A and B are shown apart, each in its own frame.
Chain A
Amino acid sequence: MRKKVYLFIHYLRSVTVLAVVMLVSIQAMAQSYAIKGKVKDDNGQGIPGVSVLIKGSNVGSVTDAEGTYTLNADLKPGNYSLDFSSIGYASLSQNLTLGSQTSLVVDVTIKESVAVLDEVVVTGSTIKSTRRQLGNSINSISSKELVNSGSANLFSALQGKVPGAQITQNSGDPSGGMTIRLRGIKSLQGNSDPLYVIDGVILSNTSVNVSQYALSDQVGSAIVGTNRMADINPADIESMNIINGAAAAAQYGSRASNGVVLITTKRGKNGAPQINFSTSVSVNELRKKLKISTYGKQFGYSSLRLGTITGLTAAQIAANPGTTTTPIIRDGVTANLATNEVDVQRYDYQDEIFRTGVGTDNALSISGGNERTQYYASLSYMKNQGIVQGTDFQRYGLRVRLEQRLASWAKLSTGITYNNSFSNEKPNGNVFYSPINSINITNNIYDITKRDANGNLQAVEPTRVNPLTVVEDMKFTQAVNRTVNDVQLNLTPLKGLNIDWIFGIDAFSQLGKNLIPPYPYATISGLPAERYPKGFAANVNSTTFQYNNDINISYERDLTPDFKLNVVAGTSYQNSKTDISAASGQNLAPFIQTVSGAASTTVKANYTLDQFDLFGVFGQATFGYKNLAFITGAVRSDRSSKFSSSQSHQTYPKFSASFIPSDLDFWSKGGLGKVVNTAKIRYSWGKSGNMTGIGSYDRFWQFNSVPFLGQNTILPSGTLANQNVRPEFMTENEGGVDLTFLNNKLTLGVTAYKQKITDLVVNRVLAATSGGTSAIDNVGQMQNKGYEVSLSYTPIQTKDFTWDVSVIYSQNRNKIIKLGSPLILQNTVSGAPSYLIEGQAASVFYGTFFARDENGNQKLTKDGLPQSQKGVQSATDPLAYTPSPNGTDGQFTTNTTVRKIIGNPNPKWTGSFVNNFTYKRIGFRFLLDAVQGMQVFNADRRTRQGVGIGDYSEKELKGTLPRGYVYSIYNTEEWRVDNASFVKLREINISYSLPNIMKNVKNINIALSGRNLISWDKYDGYDPETNAGGNSDLLRGVDFGNVPIPRTYQVKISASF
């Protein structure tokens, strides 16, 4: 049974008063006492780092690695209270009677609790609060939840654990990007990434494309590249606090409008050196293979390309005797589709492209210290192979953290980390020479494994690239060196006053090498220029240097016994600089693999500099009444170099309140307290801004230089600018309750929020006659509304067996209220009609759809085939149209198609379910992740049918579908939208703690994990969790050549020495 912590706190008060009275009245002489003992957790393990304090004195200590503590106190005999507290555990107060015995042993067991009111949470780099006081919802993730996720990527390890967070893995590439969005997207022009802070250092998560340079101008608005949080090793993390709303993080104000992720890394504890070691081996495989047709026939003649959908000309029919055709009418135009079939041999190229990859993840750490100095050092190595041949990602990491107490009132803390990562990549899915798309776009009637006498690969379909060339010959690599360092000085010169100074540096460099060697079959295949037939090489260098300087001053004081005041003020400054230089060229000399071998007339070089800085000051005050009710008010003022000086300074107020009615006498002592053990009501309102929501130079109309025939050429940008563009402004209202029931076995937290973003910066479409095609302007408004529910329940908790369950449910509705134009199309090469439409959620799919009659049945053409709805689109409302009238034959009389919203990549709700069993030494846990109510634009599915390798084209060949079916649906965009709702077995894990079989070796743990093992979905592609847009916020839910997420199995052994 769990201890009733809250009752103890009440007892504590009465005991304290009694003890003071007794002390005063007795006035006995002080004596020397030695108190020692051991602090254990539920498993009987000693807990290091627990703070032990005799309340009312300044006698205190910290438990060592074994969990034992020793206190030497000179106190008067009497009754005292011995307080035990530690982050992640419920505080405990034990009665302590100091009498004639001078040597005492007090052993206690403290319980873990993460949702308990008095748990300490981090809301700024050095700003802490208790849950009790916080008027916002905050989610804490401890290292235990990250350790057996089966993934070495921090974001993957977080999937399914944070309410309100939509964490999407955009691609199954081992170095592929992951996107995390808290409560929906907040900005159209800027990034909706939350702010990441690690030990007080603001981290950069940008994706600079250095390794996919060949296609940088071929991908439209998709954002290609690994986001740099991939450099952070989850094994180094002690805890994470994630604040979804903007109002909580006063310290980060303007940059926190997208939420804040505060990461605290592991640090050393007082005691003998402790060595922790873990190693794991994992296997990645393709979870689901696509249905690629191997039916040995095709239409027309063997050299006919796209025979399923191509109308033959008279010349083609004459040149290929035996060809028969049938006329099919679509949208008023007739095409003569071939009907005769010829024998071909088909191959499944998936077998050549995919492989089973292996990986390993190893970490070694040593930590320890004494009263004044604590240290933590770790070394890690990870390598992971992707399921596409030739792809992998490896990462070395080194971390050292040192904490030194300089005086009783001053402490210095410093951390140095170095990461080196390297990835071998293949072209990004958005081009037709990527691994997946080279399969989708090529007719599979060629044996791609055939080589000539010199071992060169052969040509396949004209103008297409042999898929094996992609995986064998193309080389794209990225090497990253990164160092994240911080120095912190914490001063407590007076009682209740803390002065903290933090200086952090995040510096990294990325080096990308791109190589497409000349194709041996370029001429035979007639490869177009976009595939770089004579070869391509590029070398790209990007260096980023970012630093932040923060000062926080906080003061806490009891004004009266009932009123407590806590004041925090501070200032922060951040500066960021990125230099990118690139050189690329084509037509490579034989055997030369870098841009040095490129023909000089094709070499292009350029340099980009991006620089900005931010500065802000803030002040926050919290009043607490009887530990029951708290009110916090804060004000923050910021400026950013991205805006002109007249617009840059902005002020953001915040207000929050929390009230714990369950601490009131009538509740805690009455019957209500037995049903609802604790209840907390919270509310917050705050404004924040997006000071980095535009490009560093977006407010200027840029006149750019272009290379042109050796002469100076300047081209005014088509994007007009506005010198007076303002930062976006977000106002958030959030309210919630946290309740516990059944003796604190059941906890329920519910939060509802509404965010309104005004002055939304939009890259709006202009009429070209106004001098530009787009302009950056504050013409938009957007809102996010939703709620988050988290429930956790421990039905059984005995000495040997524990069963706990937790459920998370989140729902967010995003809506663009104003856009400045009725609609804006996202630039993409995938053909996905992704639009921003006023009055709708962002990034909906807006396109042509099937004509249906009043009963909802498809309205067929005279040939009995489906067709698109015809009519006239309204000029003012993009969603309205006048249907085409029917003629006497029941068919449409006009041929212009109309469009409506055909899909939405924003999920209706997301949720997760975690079930955890522990029996003696065995643990079993699984996590189910559900995302429901979203659609994905499956661009590849139609491509396969047109090329002739898909399941529908096979049905047409076999006759189960009428001839012309694929041709009829080919231009109807609704056909390409798929239901992408899924429930996945995200993690499953069995672990066994060995008994202590070897001397000095403890905590030996073997774990077997699986990740993404099963997906229950109705999606017709590889995996519904995918995005060809990469880390783009605006282009989402598009499947175009993406590498699917693999199924992973992992075996992990860890031990401590």
Chain B
Amino acid sequence: MKKTLIYTILASGILTFSSCEQKEFLNPSAASEIQVVNDVYGLIALANGLQYRYSVGGGGVVYTFISANGLTTKELLVLNAGNTDLDLLSKGSGNVQGSNAVITSLWAQSHLTKSNADIVLKNIDKAADPGLKSGILAYASIFRALALGDLAEFWQQAPIGTGTNITFNSRQDVLKEAITTLETAAAAIAATAPSSDFTKLVVNSIDMPNTIQALIARYSLMLADYDKALTAANKVDLTKKSAFNYDDVSQNPIFFSSFGNRNVTEPVSTALGLPDALKPDAADKRVSFYTQTAAPTKNLGTGFFTANTSPIPVYLPGEITLIKAEALARKGTIDTAITELNKVLTKTTDAWGIGAALPAYSGGTDATSVLTEIYRNRCIELFMSGLKLEDSRRFGRPSTERNRDWYPYPTNERQNNSSTPADPAN
């Protein structure tokens, strides 16, 4: 018996010592960077991930830029002061600090969208098939440009690159970089159209050729490059829709968090954030598209935020027409500007179902009056599309119409990036 016991001990000893080698346990529910970027289907999945990060969730870019912009430009008000960070945004000025969770999220997720897109673009050559490669390139480029454009709208400076203590670029450089990215993408899909294999594997709610041109038009206008804006705007097919899609699991973030109840935010009034002098005409059908007064217990706002599954437009046909109008007006050709403006005023519907159904413009034909009317229509047509802060600055609107000009830099950035510039005065 002694032998048996001793052998048992020895056996267990061997068992134990054989386990002294280092083991590596990997997570079967996740993948590593090397695995994903070296596989073309991994790159496509990452491309979808860009849209997910950008458009889904209360921390995503779409929710934060629509809400922050809406509160800063008095489109929206806060219903329950317990939503502290949103409430501080609605009060503006010194109440908005670098610690605000909403603008921190907007900054962080925009930068992560940009750096994740950079990973895809850096490894684009791993896609051997040209139809897949051009599709992935265009998809990633669109989100890179969207992220850069958002940063340039709300901050005076932002880094284009990714790294530790990375230097900041001026917003003009950021916008130029966005446009360059988009032009490269446009060239790529013009050379090789994305194959149907590609469109079957992505979410495919974004019309890539038209979105690229629409964004080039948008950002060129912000840079005051009116010719480029016009050229790009003219290339956009206004009958096509380009959207961020949602479902019951990845819900429309504005509806899910705000408009599905009356506890967070809602539009200030049916004046859609405009001062009395500019408030919408009584017959303007767009007011009833964006708001509802029939059920007072429900949120005042509707628009593209009426259900978990409501898609949110990436750009609106109305925006393109108004870009053309503004570019023409600023270049001095007022007549053609008014023609474009009337297209927006008189349309009864469009691809997204928005139509003012108003009579043609009959106001002053000087540049100032026309530009004011264009601004007014941008505020109504593009209500809650997150562009109003840029418009308010660009049209030189009085500072009473917005409660901040620029956002401060998030505290997380300032404390961990020595290149962060000083905060703007307002």
A contact residues around B262 at 8 Å (CB)? 462-463, 526
Are A768 and B248 within 8 A (Cβ)? no
> With A526-B262, A769-B111 given, is the CB distance from A714 to B82 under 8 Å?
no
How far, in angstroms, from A1041 to B247 measured CA to CA in the complex?
A: 32
Binds B, one of A234-242, A270-278, A600-608, A1000-1008: A600-608
A contact residues around B36 at 8 Å (CB)? 703, 714
B28 to chain A, nearest CB (A): 6
A contact residues around B203 at 8 Å (CB)? 708-709, 711
Residue among A551, A575, A607 with most chain B CB within 10 A: A551
Are B297 and A768 within 8 A (Cβ)? no
A746-776 interface with B by 8 A CB criterion: 765-773
B contact residues around A573 at 8 Å (CB)? 16, 19-20
A552 to chain B, nearest CB (A): 11
How far, in angstroms, from A309 to B2 measured CA to CA in the complex?
A: 82
How far, in angstroms, from A705 to B95 measured CA to CA in the complex?
A: 38
Interface residues of A, dominant DSSP: mixed
> With A527-B261, A601-B249, A765-B412 given, is the CB distance from A713 to B45 under 8 Å?
yes
Please pick, from A697, A712, A770, the residue contacting B163 in the complex, using a CB distance under 8 A. Answer: A770
Are A875 and B414 within 8 A (Cβ)? yes
Please pick, from A407, A524, A707, the residue contacting B249 in the complex, using a CB distance under 8 A. Answer: A707
Q: Is B400's beta carbon under 8 Å from chain A?
A: no
Please pick, from A410, A697, A769, the residue contacting B27 in the complex, using a CB distance under 8 A. Answer: A697
Residue among B23, B109, B417 with most chain A CB within 10 A: B23
> With A463-B262, A768-B112, A896-B97 given, is the CB distance from A700 to B32 under 8 Å?
yes
How far, in angstroms, from A821 to B29 measured CA to CA in the complex?
A: 31
B contact residues around A526 at 8 Å (CB)? 261-263, 297-298
Chain B positions 407 through 426: 1 when the CB is less than 8 Å from some CB of chain A, otherwise 0: 00010111111001000000
A518 to chain B, nearest CB (A): 15
Are B48 and A712 within 8 A (Cβ)? yes
A49 to chain B, nearest CB (A): 26
Please pick, from B5, B15, B51, B414, the residue contacting A489 in the complex, using a CB distance under 8 A. Answer: B5
Q: Is B274's beta carbon under 8 Å from chain A?
A: no
A208-243 interface with B by 8 A CB criterion: none
Are A501 and B12 within 8 A (Cβ)? yes
B207 to chain A, nearest CB (A): 16
A contact residues around B197 at 8 Å (CB)? none
B265 to chain A, nearest CB (A): 12
B420: nearest chain-A partner, CB-CB? A767
Are B162 and A769 within 8 A (Cβ)? yes
B contact residues around A83 at 8 Å (CB)? none
Q: Is B251's beta carbon under 8 Å from chain A?
A: yes
How far, in angstroms, from A875 to B422 measured CA to CA in the complex?
A: 10
How far, in angstroms, from A551 to B119 measured CA to CA in the complex?
A: 49
Chain B positions 150 through 171: 1 when the CB is less than 8 Å from some CB of chain A, otherwise 0: 0000000001011111100000
B contact residues around A499 at 8 Å (CB)? 9
B contact residues around A771 at 8 Å (CB)? 112, 115, 162-163
Are A714 and B33 within 8 A (Cβ)? no
How far, in angstroms, from A501 to B222 measured CA to CA in the complex?
A: 75
Are B30 and A704 within 8 A (Cβ)? yes
A contact residues around B82 at 8 Å (CB)? 306, 943, 946
A contact residues around B23 at 8 Å (CB)? 613, 641
Q: Is B224's beta carbon under 8 Å from chain A?
A: no
Chain A positions 1008 through 1022: 1 when the CB is less than 8 Å from some CB of chain B, otherwise 0: 000000000000000
B contact residues around A331 at 8 Å (CB)? 91, 94-95
Are A309 and B81 within 8 A (Cβ)? yes
Q: Is A586's beta carbon under 8 Å from chain B?
A: yes
B contact residues around A716 at 8 Å (CB)? 33, 46, 49, 116, 119
Q: Is A864's beta carbon under 8 Å from chain B?
A: no
B contact residues around A704 at 8 Å (CB)? 29-30
Are A615 and B41 within 8 A (Cβ)? no
Number of interface residues of A (CB under 8 A): 92
Please pick, from A305, A503, A707, A896, the residue contacting B94 in the complex, using a CB distance under 8 A. Answer: A896
Are B249 and A895 within 8 A (Cβ)? no
> With A499-B9, A714-B48, A773-B412 given, is the CB distance from A970 to B81 under 8 Å?
yes
B107-127 interface with A by 8 A CB criterion: 107-109, 111-112, 115-116, 119
A contact residues around B201 at 8 Å (CB)? 711-712
How far, in angstroms, from A409 to B9 measured CA to CA in the complex?
A: 14
How far, in angstroms, from A62 to B266 measured CA to CA in the complex?
A: 81
How far, in angstroms, from A701 to B32 measured CA to CA in the complex?
A: 6
B228 to chain A, nearest CB (A): 28
Please pick, from B29, B35, B115, the residue contacting A609 in the complex, using a CB distance under 8 A. Answer: B29
Are A772 and B5 within 8 A (Cβ)? no
How far, in angstroms, from A635 to B373 measured CA to CA in the complex?
A: 82
Are B269 and A971 within 8 A (Cβ)? no
Q: Is B332's beta carbon under 8 Å from chain A?
A: no
Please pick, from B9, B22, B205, the residue contacting A648 in the complex, using a CB distance under 8 A. Answer: B22
B250 to chain A, nearest CB (A): 5
B contact residues around A604 at 8 Å (CB)? 249
How far, in angstroms, from A953 to B414 measured CA to CA in the complex?
A: 39
Are A768 and B25 within 8 A (Cβ)? no
How far, in angstroms, from A897 to B260 measured CA to CA in the complex?
A: 33
Are B91 and A703 within 8 A (Cβ)? no
B246 to chain A, nearest CB (A): 8
Q: Is A997's beta carbon under 8 Å from chain B?
A: no
A contact residues around B119 at 8 Å (CB)? 716
Q: Is B277's beta carbon under 8 Å from chain A?
A: no
B27 to chain A, nearest CB (A): 4
Are B81 and A709 within 8 A (Cβ)? no
A contact residues around B181 at 8 Å (CB)? none
A607 to chain B, nearest CB (A): 6
How far, in angstroms, from A706 to B53 measured CA to CA in the complex?
A: 10
Are A770 and B162 within 8 A (Cβ)? yes
B284-321 interface with A by 8 A CB criterion: 297-298, 308
A contact residues around B164 at 8 Å (CB)? 767, 770
Please pick, from B5, B53, B308, B417, the residue contacting A769 in the complex, using a CB distance under 8 A. Answer: B417
Please pick, from B12, B30, B161, the residue contacting A503 in the complex, using a CB distance under 8 A. Answer: B12
Chain B positions 69 through 103: 1 when the CB is less than 8 Å from some CB of chain A, otherwise 0: 00000000000111010000001011101000000
Chain A positions 872 through 904: 1 when the CB is less than 8 Å from some CB of chain B, otherwise 0: 000100000000000000000011110000000
Are B32 and A895 within 8 A (Cβ)? no
Please pick, from A613, A821, A946, the residue contacting B19 in the complex, using a CB distance under 8 A. Answer: A613
B295: nearest chain-A partner, CB-CB? A526
Chain A positions 811 through 834: 1 when the CB is less than 8 Å from some CB of chain B, otherwise 0: 000000000011100000001000
> With A503-B12, A528-B260, A551-B16 given, is the CB distance from A709 to B250 under 8 Å?
yes
> With A696-B25, A713-B49 given, is the CB distance from A708 to B250 under 8 Å?
yes
> With A489-B9, A713-B48, A765-B416 given, is the CB distance from A571 to B245 under 8 Å?
no
Are A703 and B52 within 8 A (Cβ)? no
> With A501-B12, A712-B201 given, is the CB distance from A702 to B25 under 8 Å?
no
Are A823 and B415 within 8 A (Cβ)? yes
A774: nearest chain-B partner, CB-CB? B412
Are B84 and A612 within 8 A (Cβ)? no
Q: Is B202's beta carbon under 8 Å from chain A?
A: yes
Are B261 and A528 within 8 A (Cβ)? yes
A708: nearest chain-B partner, CB-CB? B52
Are A767 and B416 within 8 A (Cβ)? yes
Chain A positions 925 through 954: 1 when the CB is less than 8 Å from some CB of chain B, otherwise 0: 000000000000000000100100000000
Q: Is A529's beta carbon under 8 Å from chain B?
A: yes
Return 20 A-B CB contacts under 8 Å, by A number. A309-B81, A410-B1, A489-B5, A493-B6, A549-B16, A587-B248, A601-B247, A612-B25, A639-B22, A648-B22, A700-B27, A703-B31, A703-B32, A707-B249, A708-B250, A715-B52, A765-B415, A766-B416, A768-B111, A769-B163
Instruction: Name the 4 nearest CB pairs between A and B, nearest first.
Output: A528-B261, A768-B108, A767-B417, A714-B45
Other A-B contacts than A697-B25, A704-B30, A714-B36, 19 sampled, CB-CB below 8 A, are A306-B82, A310-B81, A407-B1, A410-B1, A410-B5, A501-B9, A501-B12, A529-B257, A587-B248, A613-B23, A639-B20, A641-B22, A641-B25, A645-B22, A697-B30, A770-B163, A770-B166, A772-B112, A773-B412
